[in-house]
Structure 1
Amino acid sequence: MRGSLIWVICFGLILFSCGSNEESKTVESTPPQTENTAPETIEKNENQTRLGIDVSHFQGDIDWNEIKEAGILFAYDKATQGETYVDPDYKENHIGAKNAGLVHGSYHFFMSNDDPIKQAKLFLANALYEKGDLPPVLDLESGGIKGEITREEFEKNVLAWLEYVEAELGVKPIVYTNHSFGDQYLSDGKLAEYHLWVAEYGVDKPKVPKVWEEQGWLIWQRTERGTVEGAIGQVDHDLYNPEKPAIVEFE
């Protein structure tokens, strides 16, 4: 989930085509990409298309007012990772996105070798959740698998995090993953009770893990190589499913 040069927007969106305290970007692995590595760009929002971005400190300083002007309606910011890591730009990004009028959400990058409840407590101690915000997200990727762990143990720990955060905040978190990782590690039917944020790039339609086949996806991270005015460098582009009812008020 990537300064002084501002990128200018120029693309047209088509619906449905569309561990340590010293964190390393390589920890956050992403789903396999196609050979098309050219950055994509986002045009202004029209016709109820709900576009979003997700960021961490890797994006550097962000002009959130320009992000809003670009038609972006929502943003997810990385809050925490594992048992100890807090993203250094989280609070600044949270305040900037909120002040610019974007709907905001926070996510936690899950580490398999860390205690799930300690991870949940770290997230809750740092995430600035308020009524009207997007639900918290648990980021599940191959980069978070450390050492050997069975699918059953991983699922048990994931559910422990989800259930703890849900009980504390009174809102169901969202699960972020991709279909290959999900099919390998996530098969418990209880997971289908949580909305899915699926990542897949360079396709007309994302493939969801089997657990979510009936429910489908709520948010689709459709590229990690996007440019958008107001953000330094490339950011992840996200689309809220236009066939799903809005779970928050976007405007």
Structure 2
Amino acid sequence: MKVALATTLSLAAAAQAAVQGFDISHYQPNVDFAAAKSAGARFVIIKATEGTTYTDPSFSSHYTGATNAGLIRGGYHFAHPGSSTGAAQADYFLAHGGGWSGDGITLPGMLDLESGSSGECWGLSASQMVSWIKSFSDQYHSKTGRYPMIYTSPAWWQDCTGNSNAFASTNPLVLAHYSSSVGPIPGGWPYQTIWQNADSYAYGGDSDIFNGSEDRLRALATG
């Protein structure tokens, strides 16, 4: 993974390419994946789970639709830090669609870190949050050989982890920042792997931009 991250960094520095994608959940029950691909999208990240009790009802149909359209695809887990261990939530995610295989069309799972019903930081201190994320990340890595992507915004990462740099060399960053430019990169990451640049996309969900060429996107899905 560190080799893949370093390679993507060199591509990012040279500003060689970017690839359109999007992310979706059951809030978009009907997605025209073929039309999205025809319009230039090459990947989609699909909500699979929350906590240890919730599975997204549209995950299976979304995953099948994306696969049939020839899109690179992967699942994401909406974290409930503090309600159970990170390892337990990683296991739940893996058991309900969050797995990975090096087939060139499956992205490593994404850990979605943002505010929830328990408040912005889910009642955890910064050090507790870092430990929780590490528990999830290490468990996912132990089961798949890959570290999960981490989705966050600069403000959330600062407020809830103290801007920890504990994951900068292992976990690809999916940066949420709705703007015409990427903006500041949190947590010691040298670059973002994927930029969620808008909260709407023509074919549903949010707009995502991969930071590199389509070949590098496929490499991320290969391992």
2:212 equivalent in structure 1: 242
Determine the C-alpha separation between the residues in 2 that align with 1:216 and 1:120: 25
Query: Does the residue aligned with 1:54 lie in a helix, a strand or coil?
Result: strand
1:92 aligns with 2:69: no
Higher mean displacement: 146-155 or 70-79: 146-155
**RMSD between aligned residues:** 2.3
How far apart in 1 are the matches of 2:66 and 2:109? Answer: 15
| Residues in 1 aligned to 2:49 and 2:129: alpha-carbon distance in whole angstroms | 19
Give the Å deviation of 1:172: 1.5
Partner of 1:118 in structure 2? 88
Give the deviation of 1:247 after TM superposition.
Answer: 4.8
Q: Give a deviation string over 1:11-55, Cα, whole Å, max 9, x none.
A: xxxxx9xxxxxxxxxxxxxxxxxxxxxxxxxxxxxx953100000
Paired position in structure 2 for 1:189:
165
2:100 corresponds to 1:129: yes
CA distance in 1: counterparts of 2:184 and 2:87, whole angstroms: 30
Inter-CA distance 244–150: structure 2 relative to 1 (3 Å threshold): farther
The 2-side partners of 1:197 and 1:89 are apart by 22
TM-score by length of 2: 0.81
The residue type paired with residue 91 of structure 1 is S
Question: C-alpha offsets along residues 107-160 of structure 1, whole Å, 9 cap, x if unaligned?
Answer: 101012321222111101011533221111100012265452111111101110
Residues 93-113 of structure 1 show CA distances to partners (whole Å, capped at 9, x for unaligned) of 111101110000111010123
Q: SS of the residue aligned with 2:27?
A: helix
Partner residue in 2 for 1:211: 188
Q: Which residue of 1 aligns with 2:142?
A: 167
SS at match of 1:138: strand
TM-score by length of 1: 0.72
| Structure 2: runs of 5+ lacking an equivalent | 1-11
Residue pair 1:206, 1:220 contacting (<8 A) in 2 also: no
**C-alpha separation between the residues in 2 aligned to 1:76 and 1:101?**
14
- Say which SS state the counterpart of residue 104 (structure 1) adopts: strand
Q: In percent, how many aligned pairs have the same letter?
A: 29
- Cα deviations by residue, 1:77-97 (Å, 9 ceiling, x for unpaired): 001011110000101111110
- Residues 184 and 211 of structure 1, relative CA distance in 2, 3 Å threshold: farther
1:157 to 117, 129, 132: 132
Bigger share in helix: 2
Structure 1 position 63, deviation (Å): 1.9
Runs in 1 of length 4+ with deviation above 4 angstroms?
Answer: 144-147
